[in-house]
Amino acid sequence: MSEAAVPRYLIGIDVGSTAVKVVALESATDRIVWMDYQRHESRPGEKLLDELTRLEADTDVARGNARAFITGTAGAGLGEAIGARSVQEVAALAPGRQGAPLVDLGP
């Protein structure tokens, strides 16, 4: 996928101090196609890999048709490893104030 191409899916990832949250949207419609919340039990990288593996198995989201954004306490380092763009948490919430859908994935 070229940098200018619009990906079919957008993936939002939050890797916090206790849990990994992932949501995948169709970029053209903002329709949620997959989401999950899992406690990572002090193994955020392992849990993120599990979540992304499940996302690919459950949907047609794949490396060539998606763009990922990551936030959270462990997000920056893990984002680099998976090719996701790191976004500061407060900035990640800004689109919600402009009418974009917000997704509640749990505690």
pLDDT tens, position by position, 44-81: 999 999 999 999 999 999 989 999 999 998 888 899 99
CA–CA dist 84, 93 (Å, integer): 17
CB 7 within 8 A of CB 1: yes
What count of Cα atoms within 13 Å lies in the side-chain half-sphere of residue 30?
7
> Which segment of 3-7, 8-12, 23-27, 102-106 scores lowest on mean pLDDT?
102-106
**Max Cα-Cα span within the chain:** 38
Report the candidate in 35, 51, 32, 34 with the shortest Cα–Cα distance to residue 43. Answer: 51
Say what the pLDDT of residue 16 is.
Answer: 92
The percentage of the chain sitting over the pLDDT mark of 70, rounded to a whole number, equals 79
Rg (CA), the chain: 13
Q: 53 or 1: which carries more pLDDT confidence?
A: 53
